[in-house]
Amino acid sequence: MTHSNSSSGPRSRGTDPRVSATEASSGGRTPESLALPGSPDRGSPDRPASEPAPSGSASSGTRGGSALGGAIAAEGAALDPSEAPQPSAPAPFRVVLDAAGVQRAATRLAHEILERNGGLDSVAVVAIAAGGIPVARLILDKLEQITGQRLPLGELDVTLYRDDVVGRGKRPVPHRTRMLPTVAAMRVVLIDDVMFTGRTVRAAMDAVIDFGRPEGIQVACLVDRGHRELPIHVDFVGKNIPTQRAEQVSVVEISPNTFEVRVA
């Protein structure tokens, strides 16, 4: 008895079971997107199979795409706000003399200068640049309120008179000197903002003498912080403030003609 095959065509040989269903559903042709691994690029419908795919196409952009993705990820990581360098916070400080306290100290200094000298005749006020200038102006304002007399102000730079210019290791930056016409036979009141080692005042005394021989030199400062290195006496002190040697004491202008003293 002879058995006939149910198919009218010949039996196919070597058919891959992985694509038989696909070939059946697509008319015997395997789409490019379903090509088997290792099979040659079949090309697009309008490009021969032997023509290489453009560099930006999906078939050849796997390695380039991963590199681009890595670059984008690296750029995103570099721009991560959490990893960006943050600005450093300002150094902490404490206010040891507020604006009202500075005004009271200036008023007290003005009264003491008047009492010591018996008035303003033959008194020459000289500020040590640059910190002593705003303090001297405050004191002159108070003297004018008390006496109605406005004294001229001399501004004296002492940079080149200091004995520690070389030891500082920095090039000195001189300030402008606007000195009075003469200090000969005058009682000179030297004014600085903060009294520390005494070296600045010693240099100022040498500088004053170069402009004439005064009758005497008196020293006034807004703040005396101690730590003297030279035997310099301060005649008029706004406020004595005990400090550590490593601390920084500064008179800060917080608004026009308004100051406070800070320690950092």
- 44 secondary structure, DSSP code: -
Domain boundaries, the chain: 99-163+173-263
Cα–Cα distance between 127 and 194 in angstroms, integer?
12
pLDDT in tens for each of the 264 residues of the chain?
444 444 444 444 444 444 444 444 444 444 444 444 444 444 444 444 444 444 444 444 444 455 545 554 445 555 555 566 666 667 799 999 999 999 999 999 999 999 999 999 999 999 999 999 999 999 999 999 999 999 999 999 999 898 876 666 666 677 889 999 999 999 999 999 999 999 999 999 999 999 999 999 999 999 999 999 999 999 999 999 999 999 999 999 999 999 999 999
Give all strands of the β-sheet with 236-240 in edge-to-edge order. Answer: 153-156, 123-128, 187-195, 216-224, 236-240
Predicted confidence at residue 80, as pLDDT, reads 56
Please check whether residue 196 is in contact with residue 234, taking contact to mean a CB–CB distance below 8 angstroms: no
Return the residue matching tokens 């009264």. Answer: 111
Q: Which tokens in the block code for residue 176?
A: 């402008």
Cα–Cα distance between 107 and 143 in angstroms, integer?
8
For CA atoms 82, 84, 85, 90, give the dihedral sign: negative
57-84: b (≥16 Cβ within 10 Å) or e: eeeeeeeeeeeeeeeeeeeeeeeeeeee
CATH of domain 99-163+173-263: 3.40.50.2020
Predicted confidence at residue 155, as pLDDT, reads 97
Predicted confidence at residue 70, as pLDDT, reads 55
Q: Which amino acid is at 139?
A: I
Closest CA to 44 of 56, 55, 63, 57: 57
pTM of the model: 0.66
Q: Which tokens in the block code for residue 57?
A: 């196409």
